Chain A
Amino acid sequence: MMRFVVVRAFESLVVLALMSFVVYALIGLMPGDPIDIMLAGDPNMTPEDRERLRQLFGLHLPIWERYGNWLVAAIGGDFGFSRTFNRPVLEVMAPNLGRTALLMMSSFVLSVAIAIPLGLAAAVRQRRLADYGINLFCFAGKSVPPFWLALMLILVFAVELNWFPAGGIETVGASGIVDRVRHLALPVACLTLLNLASVARLMRAEAIGALRQDYVRTARAKGLAERRVIWGHAMRNALNPVVTVIALEFGTLFSGALITETVFAYPGMGKMIYDAILGNDYNLALIGLLFATLLVLVGNLAADLGYAALDPRISYR
């Protein structure tokens, strides 16, 4: 098992290194140099200003050389400065990372906690009203555009009912846990609704299959309580593929956070990466995207390990 984890960690490092180059090159290939954007907006900038700023930000160097310099510094633990914020990248990223982690983890836990019982309930009540209702809810959750859902939540719960704030992270001057939770409520609800659909649908399908298996029939024949049959036997066996999807969905959650953060004016990682790409802030965009990649890799590793934990037939060497 340990060997497997070490090999996968090494593979992840290789993927990260490759991704760092791809991301760096892609941002560099985008048309529109940041200095040219400044030049277009400021008629007083002279060619000397342009050249001076290009040199200052290292933009006069070829892209591979810039990347090489960055890589050497990054290996030494220096991830560089954000061009737009004039602050070390990690310093700019840290508060955003914390906020996104809070948003994502809350949504993740909530969506899994709701989706698994929901899928199971639909499977147990297959082709009954509850099943149809849950299916409809899941289809809606899967097909509704995130942007629209976020706006609807704002309109209903913030504008019309005035139950929750429409955006931001806190009421200025009224800090406290309740205030923070109130600000988190709508973005978390939005992200949760968007993510629980696929997990619930898969859980339903797997549970239906498991409920038809011989071991379930045997469990029932032994006279076990229905609750124990479902939770102890059917769910445990149905969970394996669901764990894979949950782990992979963790990466998807990150992209959902981008839209959620934008609509709810929630300053997190998604929005930071988006702004960094648009602003040609190489270092910030790069670290942000690498972090997103790392999240997917960790999700995959977690799925693999989850398999082994849930299914005694699987072991890694």
Chain B
Amino acid sequence: MRLGRIALAAALLAAAPVKAETRDTLTIGLSTFPPSLHPLTGAELVRSYILAMVARPLMAFDPDWKLVCLLCTAVPTFANGLAREIDLGGGKKGVALTIAIQPGATWGDGTPVTAKDVIFTNRVNRHPLSGVVSGEFDRRVVKIEAKDDKTFVLHIDRITFDYNNLAGYRVLPAHLEEKAFAAPQDYAKRSTYETNPAERGLYFGPYRVAEIVAGAHVVLVPNETWFGKKPFFKRIVLRAFENTAALEANLLAGGVDFIPGEGGLTLDQVIALEARHPKRFRYLYKTTTSYSHLDVNLEHPALKDRRVRQALLLAADREAIARQIYAGKVSVAHSSVNPLQWMAAADIRRYEFDPAAAKRLLDEAGWSEMKGGVRHNAEGERLAFTLASVAGIKANELVMTVLAAQWRQVGVDARIRGQPARVFFGDTLQRRKFDGLAFFAWIVSPESVPRTIVHSSMIPAAANGWQGQNFTGYRNPEMDTLIDGIERELDREKRRALWHRYQEIYAQDLPALPMFFGTVGFVMPLWLEGVRPTGHSATSSIWVEEWKAK
């Protein structure tokens, strides 16, 4: 009898529907949960993904890779007169940008978005105690003035080719945040984004945050004060599953409708899912500016020789890796510039798979004596190094295993070393502690200048506070001059020539061994339309009002 009652209760529980949402709700599965939705205190991808739906940046590169205004009305240029050169004294030139805010832009509580908000944001970004992650752009602003409620002028201390690029610049609601900023050292703790993140006055996008359960989900509902196209979905639920197996299971069980390429499954997981369920979802693959590569420690006794680096690339069958591990969804990289970028050069040196040529180069470099299957030089030193990366990323581990095996064929001993992400990025790379090669990827905006990556002033060291991403320790005066030149050159065709030379040197010197240009995989329900991946650092969620159900 008792057993019968228990069985009945279990049956009643099981009979209840798993999912109450209809197609006016879109449930998005993400692999991480943002610690906060404050636009300035962190730059995690998942934070940007959610923020894009509730508060637009001033500008962004759109899916066609064109710089467009989102919160502003027109991108200032010298041609349209909204940008003008200014004299800063002492022979220094700067630029003044006149920017108008969308007339209808209004915070969710009905307060208009005004120049006052921009000026307040600039104050927060510049304050040393405000807790913002990076205020570098705002520190370049020498003066900011409001022309009227909706127009402001930024005076910037330099003229670069991307003088008008305010992509990703986010504005804070002064009417809510000024009070919290009264004690700047406590601002990050007192901010309304932390104390009441569902406050509607924090958001002015197509949606606003209606509910947050930390670590679990965020619920978005249409923002009544949104000035643009009315969004289709009455509710967007963003659920976090920090375990990708659980994320996939929830997709299959119906607890999640859509997994975006940004902050969802890795490419190999999407490929595997498609192989198992080819018809159940729509799979969208988008080539991105994500550049995976092997940073070389140029102080390594063997790897400092360019011939050895070239030989390593010749001995790596990257086409086969792309085909076998990524089902041909990624393309082999020949420099850090992606073919999708306008400045990509087609005539730079390529390293096709050629183990014989690799062996010749290694012989030439003095690594000619084979002992126990590993090359040695005249001093009896082994040609050996470590190949470090983040542990636990299956595709990366496979790539490293294959590379090590291929290099073994030419007598090179590469030992794989996986590390937790915080150790790899926070210590091994940033403190340049890797002995040999480090495998990782980055994603860039459409014309990002790699100053922090190849300029000699950007080699992280104690003396410069470990600033920079030139983890390889690469130094080349011509490269430094080129980087400076690219930044200053406003003429696109002249800049193209500089970019061409950059790619030539990069392919010749190989401070890093180019591997692949990445692809992200979106898993979408068959009924979802309008999602347009950008392929660069701007998330597809910026254009959320274009999304609809069939």
The answer to whether A binds B is: yes
B420 in contact with A278 (CB, 8 Å): yes
Q: Is the beta-carbon distance between A32 and B217 smaller than 8 angstroms?
A: no
Shortest beta-carbon distance from B449 to chain A in Å: 10
Complex Cα spacing A39 to B460, Å: 10
Q: Which residues of A contact B427 (CB under 8 A)?
A: 31-33, 36
Query: Of all chain B residues, which has the CB nearest A157?
Result: B14
Q: How far is the CA of A85 from the CA of B243 in the complex (A)?
A: 20
* Residue pair A46, B136 in contact (C-beta under 8 Å): yes
Nearest B residue to A35 by beta-carbon distance? Answer: B426
Query: Does residue A223 face the partner (Cβ distance < 8 Å to B)?
Result: no
Residues of A with C-beta under 8 A to B191: 86
The 0/1 profile, CB within 8 Å of B marked 1, for residues 272-284 of chain A is 1001001110000
CB contact list, A250-271 vs B, under 8 A: 262-265, 267, 271
With A85-B194, A85-B214 as contacts: A178 and B425 at CB distance below 8 Å: no
Interface status of A143 (Cβ within 8 A of chain B): no
A263 in contact with B246 given A33-B426, A56-B131, A87-B194 (CB within 8 Å): yes
Tell me whether B20 and A174 are in contact (CB under 8 A). yes
Question: Which residues 46-102 of A have a CB within 8 angstroms of B?
Answer: 46-53, 56, 81, 84-87, 92, 95-96
Q: Is the CB of A166 within 8 A of B430?
A: no
Q: A168 vs B253: C-alpha distance in the bound complex, in angstroms?
A: 12
Cβ contact within 8 Å between A167 and B425: no
Q: Determine if A169 is an interface residue (Cβ-Cβ < 8 Å).
A: yes
Contact with A along B238-255 (1 / 0, CB 8 A): 011111011101101111
Chain A residues with Cβ under 8 A from B213's Cβ?
95, 169, 267
Judge if A211 is at the interface, Cβ distance under 8 Å: no
Structural contact, B38 and A86, CB atoms closer than 8 A: yes
Interface members, chain B 59-106 (any A CB < 8 Å): none
A-contact 0/1 string along B404-425, CB 8 Å cutoff: 0000000000000000111101
Q: Which residues of B contact A50 (CB under 8 A)?
A: 465-467
What is the CB-to-nearest-CB distance from B344 to chain A, in angstroms, rounded to a whole number?
Answer: 21
B16 and A167 contact, CB distance less than 8 A: no
Are A265 and B252 CB-contacts (below 8 A) given A52-B129, A85-B194, A271-B215? no
Mark contacts of A202-217 with chain B using CB atoms, 8 A cut-off: 1 yes-contact digit, 0 otherwise: 0000000000000000
Contacting A41 at CB < 8 Å: which of B21, B136, B425, B431? B425
CA distance in complex: A181, B16 (Å): 11
* A263 in contact with B13 (CB, 8 Å): no
Q: Is the CB of B18 within 8 A of A169?
A: no
What total of A-B pairs shows CB separation below 8 Å? 204
B512 at interface (Cβ–Cβ under 8 A)?
no
Report if A165 contacts B (CB, 8 A). yes
**Contact, CB under 8 Å: B467 / A185:** no
Residues of chain B contacted by A21 (CB below 8 angstroms): none
Q: How far is the CB of A149 from chain B (nearest CB, A)?
A: 13
For the complex, give the distance between the alpha carbons of A264 and B466 in Å: 39
Q: Are A264 and B246 in contact (CB under 8 A)?
A: yes
B430 touches A39 (CB 8 A): yes
Known: A151-B249, A163-B14, A182-B16. Is A47-B465 also a contact (CB below 8 A)?
yes
A173 part of interface (Cβ distance < 8 Å): yes
Would you call A179 an interface residue if the criterion is a C-beta within 8 Å of the partner chain's C-beta atoms?
yes
Partner pick for B241 among A96, A265, A272, CB 8 A cutoff: A265
Q: Is B456 in contact with chain A by the CB < 8 A criterion?
A: no
In the bound complex, do residue A280 and residue B422 qualify as a contact, i.e. CB atoms below 8 Å apart?
Answer: yes
Q: Which of A156-184 contact B (CB under 8 A)?
A: 158-159, 162-169, 171-174, 178-179, 181-182
Q: In the complex, which residues 462-518 of chain B have their Cβ closer than 8 Å to any Cβ of chain A? A: 464-469
Task: Kindly list chain B residues whose C-beta atoms are within 8 Å of the C-beta of A312.
Answer: none
A31 contacts B426, C-beta separation under 8 Å: yes
**Distance of A263 Cα from B466 Cα, bound (Å):** 36
Q: In the complex, which residues of chain B have a beta carbon less than 8 angstroms from the beta carbon of A53?
A: 131, 133
B185 at the binding interface (Cβ < 8 Å): yes
Give chain A nearest CB distance to B208 CB in angstroms: 16
Chain A residues in contact with chain B, CB under 8 A? 30-34, 36-53, 56, 81, 84-87, 92, 95-96, 151, 154-155, 158-159, 162-169, 171-174, 178-179, 181-182, 185, 262-265, 267, 271-272, 275, 278-280
Chain B residues in the interface with A (C-beta under 8 A): 12-14, 16, 18-21, 25, 27, 33, 35-36, 38, 41, 43, 128-129, 131, 133-137, 185, 188-189, 191, 194, 211, 213-217, 219, 235, 237, 239-243, 245-247, 249-250, 252-255, 420-423, 425-431, 451-453, 460, 464-469
In order of increasing CB-CB distance, the 9 nearest A-B pairs are A47-B465, A32-B426, A267-B215, A43-B452, A37-B426, A31-B427, A32-B422, A265-B241, A44-B136
Since A46-B134, A81-B189, A182-B18 are in contact, a sample of 13 more A-B pairs with Cβ atoms closer than 8 Å, ordered by chain A residue number, is A36-B425, A41-B43, A43-B469, A44-B136, A53-B131, A85-B36, A151-B249, A159-B252, A163-B14, A165-B18, A166-B246, A171-B19, A179-B16
